[in-house]
Amino acid sequence: MLDIQQLRSDIDAVARALATRGVNLDTVTFNALEAERKQLQTRTQELQAQRNALSKQIGMLKSKGEDASEVMAQVGGIGDELKANESALGELLARIEAFMSALPNLPAEGVPEGADEAANVEVARWGTPPSFDFEVKDHVDVGTALGGLDFETAAKISGARFAMMRGGVARLHRALAQFMLNTHVGEHGYTEIYSPYLVNPESMYGTGQLPKFEEDLFAVPRADGGKFYLIPTSEVPVTNIVRGEMVAAETLPLKFVCHTPCFRSEAGSYGRDTRGMIRQHQFDKVELLRIEHPDNSMAALEELTGHAEAILQALDLPYRKIVLCTGDMGFSATKTYDLEVWLPAQNTYREISSCSNCGPFQARRMQGRFKDAQGKKGLLHTLNGSGLAVGRTLVAVLENYQQADGSVRVPAVLVPYMGGVEVLEPTA
């Protein structure tokens, strides 16, 4: 959530920044809400002062043995108006919070302006796309020939946008996740987390999925009439570790890595990437999360992105790094790098990791704060990034490591995780 003081002090600057994200800030509505709030709060303060003064008068009258009934009646009337004002103020503050919760984060200084992905800026490339002397197949055909990808059975069991993996492909998928976890824990200093897959609405609100993006989520009814939500990413449960907490500044940064399935309804994406594993309702991801002091969050974004890049480099998968423009960033992000891996069958780079600094945006929604040794308090900064999306990494390995006879070489760093298997052979 944005700092409401920014809107109160310079709403035009906030409106200009949001406009670069394609968001039209309704300044008329906000100013009207603020005027009503000021009026209610001013009247409430006046009534409180009157009540306090009259209460003192009652005490003085009673001490003198005089009749205080008329003044007491006045206090009663003020109390009724105060109660009505406080109720109205509570409703108004809820409306203001709803207005604020629908606004995305402001882009950081230096983020390129643009309406969509066409304005994203490539900042680096690593590796050389492989060349093949045979007709390249996509991951669906490669995996199917290995007897390892089965979309028909998955569709029978669940429906479209699900996959079933078998044998060597299933093991390769597991190996990728284990390799990522071990690397991030052993080499990059992250603490492994095993988190719930179901979270409450407060957690979804804290990281910005609710209320604006409910249609993208899978809701699970509770017996008590409430809801759980299946996590769209482990960013949600892990970032919410600090919800409502006061963290000692000397313990920062907090660095977490978490492997979970992720569940997304993919609302509005029908017709996009319907073939294969690129866009599914259920997929696995190894997520990197960092809770940082404000002074270090931008440097932490560079480091976190580098940790995701290290996985691609270890797997020898060519990729490019781009910085997203204002119109293409996620709701909670102030700056985002995307890593796009080379997919030979598509002859292009496709997103495999998105690494974002959210600044204090999520922490303000969660009330996640820090306190330093001098007693100074502030909002934490939160960061997240895929390290990596496991299914898309499997897609990249199947396509980049395919061979003419239909077999797939196992990347060298994964051989120990595969029990020494160096090649996956076709079953037919």
* Residue 63 known to bind ligand: no
Tell me: cis bond preceding 211? Omega within 30 of 0 counts: yes
* Residue 384 known to bind ligand: yes
Residue 123 near residue 82 (C-beta atoms within 8 A): no
Q: What residues contact residue 79 under an 8 Å CB cut-off, 6+ apart?
A: 51
* Residue 214 known to bind ligand: no
Exposed e or buried b per residue across 99-112, where buried means at least 16 C-beta atoms within 10 angstroms of its C-beta:
bbeebbbbbbeebb
Neighbours of 290 (CB within 10 A): 26
Can you tell me whether residue 387 is helix, strand or coil? strand
Decide if 279 is catalytic: yes
* Residue 131 known to bind ligand: no
* Residue 9 known to bind ligand: no
Decide if 407 is catalytic: no
- Looking at 51, 297, 392, 399, which residue is catalytic? 392
| Residue whose structure tokens are 């949600």 | 236
- Looking at 264, 364, 365, 369, which residue is catalytic? 264
DSSP 269: -
Decide if 351 is catalytic: yes
* Residue 171 known to bind ligand: no
Q: What sign results for the dihedral spanned by CA atoms 245, 246, 251, 254?
A: positive
What residues does 254 pair with on adjacent strands?
Answer: 291
Which is nearest to 410 in space by CA: 169, 180, 186? 169
Decide if 264 is catalytic: yes
- Looking at 214, 245, 351, 425, which residue is catalytic? 351
* Residue 70 known to bind ligand: no
Displacement of CA 372 from its chain's centroid (Å): 26
Decide if 161 is catalytic: no
Which is nearest to 302 in space by CA: 115, 116, 124? 124
- Looking at 125, 166, 174, 279, which residue is catalytic? 279
Distances in whole angstroms, Cα of residue 398 to Cα of each of 8, 83, 244: 53, 67, 43
- Looking at 354, 356, 364, 365, which residue is catalytic? 354
* Residue 399 known to bind ligand: no
* Residue 135 known to bind ligand: no
* Residue 182 known to bind ligand: no
Q: Two tokens at 125? A: 């490339």
* Residue 235 known to bind ligand: yes
DSSP H helices in 315-389 = 361-366
Which residues belong to the annotated binding site for ATP? 264-266, 351-354
Binding site residue list: 233-235, 264-266, 287, 351-354, 384, 386
Positions marked catalytic: 264, 279, 351, 354, 392
Which residues belong to the annotated binding site for L-serine?
A: 233-235, 264, 287, 384, 386
